[in-house]
Amino acid sequence: MGKPLSATMVACIDFAREHGEIVRFAGGFWTKRGAGWSGSHPDTEWFGSSTVQACVTRGELQYTEFHNGRYRAFPVAVALAKATPHA
């Protein structure tokens, strides 16, 4: 068994499940598509890049969309992994 999920990670996974995916906004903030940056929608839940990365590392979420940057592509959307252990 891997490392346990934190409460924030569980909330992030549940949020992605509820909305089908979450997307990255400038500054490394992740929330539902179309929500805008967290400052303009204070009632919208958002998650930091480290939380999203931890969920991907543990196999709960998977990157689904990438943006080509100057030096490399970086992830901009995640969704539930095909076989998510967390239920």
| Residues 1-14: tens digit of each pLDDT | 578 999 999 999 99
CA angle, corner 46, sides to 23 and 39, nearest 5? 105
Is this prediction's pTM over 0.95? no
Cα dihedral 42/46/49/54 (nearest 10) = 150
Could you state, in order of their start, the residue ranges of all structural domains in the chain? 7-80
| Residues 52-78: tens digit of each pLDDT | 999 999 999 999 999 998 889 989 999
Cα separation, 34 vs 55, whole angstroms = 22
